[in-house]
Structure 1
Amino acid sequence: MERSLVSPLSHVDHPIAAPLSDGSVRTLLDRALPRGNERVLDLGCAEAAWLVCALTGRPGLRADGIDLSESAVAKGRAAADAAGLGDRLTLHTGDATTFEAPQPYDLVLCVGATHAFGGLLPALEAARGHLAPGGSVLVGDGFWEREPGPGTPAAGFEADEYADLATTVEKVSAAGWTPVYEHVSTWEEWDTYEWSWTGSLSRWALDHAEHPDAAEALRIARAHRDEWLRGYRRTLGFVTLQLRAPAS
């Protein structure tokens, strides 16, 4: 089963592709968009859930998003149009690492998509190239909440893939960024995200038992659930940082 098919199905119940509640997303956006007329870019926007939330209630806001998945971008456009926001949102299908922005942005988002750039610091360097003077970044990435156990490598993680939270913030600061706000995802947010991921994919497979990908979808959901429960639950944390751009 192609990954491009798995992601839309696994995020049906949780469009934000990260362990963040709707309330946390709104709080982060409220802090990052104080004027309500900013220009926003989402690098790795998936179905544009962050951008739709940002545009809602902010009639002066304009936004762009880019993602490799044609199906995700199409769903994002449909969601924006259904909410009456399509005239203020432009979504692009393509590689976020090579995206040439038409103008600088007041806020650049990269939440749960830093892997596309090779990690947290490279993602921040890419975001910096899109920022207007005085702009900020909302970036979300993993960190080790505690020392990885023996089950963590089996879940697909290397022990040195992340650092603890303090070291993560230190690395970001050493790269010239100033944190102005952060949100550490709660265990409830993690559990809601993971049960939604595995649950929606499993439900689709059970409801479409005759589909040629149904058995594979159930296998993927089961494997992901086992990796989470036995490998990284309450070990891998997730932090979303609002960072002010370094002075040029």
Structure 2
Amino acid sequence: MSREQISAIAHADHPIKSPLADDSVTRLLAHGLPRGDERVLDLGCGTAEWLLRALKARPHLHAEGVDTSEVSLTQAREAATDLGVGGRLTLHHQKAADLTPTHPFDLVISVGATHAFGGLLPTLAAAREHLAPGGRVLIGESFWDRTPSPTAVEMFGDLADLATTVDHVVADGWTPVHGHVSTRAELDTYEWACWGSLASWALDHPTDPAAAQALETANAQRSQWLHGYRDSFGFLCLVLRRTSELS
């Protein structure tokens, strides 16, 4: 079973691939899309869940997404058709970092995908290339809420704490106009949903050749979470505007 297949099963009950409740997603989109007729780009869109929710709630919105997974993009196209928003969604099958700016966007989204650009600030630099004057960026990034264990650092790298993460963003020329720190309930719900969905699939398909691998992965990931990073991992979403708009 490929990593892509595992991810698809794990997120069956939590299509937003980040530790965010549905109402948190709705609020973040509301702050990122104050008019409702914006043009939106998601860098690393996956199944385009952020874009689909924005399009469904805003009939004058137009959106584009880019991702390397054709499987995810196919799922996104099918979902867009089912929702009746396919005519307002354009999807690009390529690396997000390689997307050539063609026209400006009022909102650029990158939640949980900063690894595709090499980190938080490189992701913001990429978003800036696509951003219209007065536009906004909705970005999601991990941070250390408490001192991490060596195992947690090995898994996620040398993250900053919350205050330092925001300081880095501000020093890079951005002003937060809204933010959300995932709650303990959101963080726990996400982990239980992912590894519970994967384990359930394995138990529901005992004769599938991939069942044993899926169950082993679910058990290992759940253990890594509980023993390795549950007490230290945090997740932050920011809606940003360029500070230079003042000049």
Verify same fold: TM over 0.5. yes
Aligned mates of 1:183, 1:217 — CA distance in 2: 32
Cα deviation 1:175-207 (Å, max 9, x = unaligned): 111111100000100111111110111111112
Partner of 1:113: 113
User: Alpha-carbon deviation of 1:25?
Assistant: 0.3
User: Alpha-carbon deviation of 1:246?
Assistant: 4.3
Q: Any conservation in 2 of the 1:153–1:231 contact (CA below 8 Å)?
A: no
Partner of 1:239: 236
Is residue 227 of structure 1 aligned with residue 224 of structure 2?
yes
Aligned mates of 2:87, 2:150 — CA distance in 1: 50
Identity level (%): 56
Partner of 1:91: 91
Q: Any conservation in 1 of the 2:101–2:129 contact (CA below 8 Å)?
A: no
Partner of 2:132: 132
User: Alpha-carbon deviation of 1:152?
Assistant: 2.1
Partner of 1:24: 24
Is residue 200 of structure 1 aligned with residue 197 of structure 2?
yes
Structure 2 unaligned residues grouped into runs of 5+: none
Structure 1 residues 222 and 129, CA, compared in 2 at 3 Å: closer, same or farther?
Answer: same
Aligned mates of 1:190, 1:233 — CA distance in 2: 8
Partner SS for 1:27: helix
Partner of 1:191: 188
After TM superposition, the structure 1 = structure 2 runs for residues 159-178 of structure 1, keeping only pairs within 5 Å, are 161-178=158-175
Cα deviation 1:34-86 (Å, max 9, x = unaligned): 11000000011111110011111211100000111111111111111111111
User: Alpha-carbon deviation of 1:102?
Assistant: 3.1
Aligned mates of 2:243, 2:205 — CA distance in 1: 50
Q: Any conservation in 2 of the 1:146–1:236 contact (CA below 8 Å)?
A: yes
Partner of 2:35: 35
Partner SS for 1:247: helix
The alignment's C-alpha RMSD in Å is 1.3
Aligned mates of 2:43, 2:7 — CA distance in 1: 17
Q: Whose helix fraction is larger, Structure 1's or Structure 2's?
A: 2
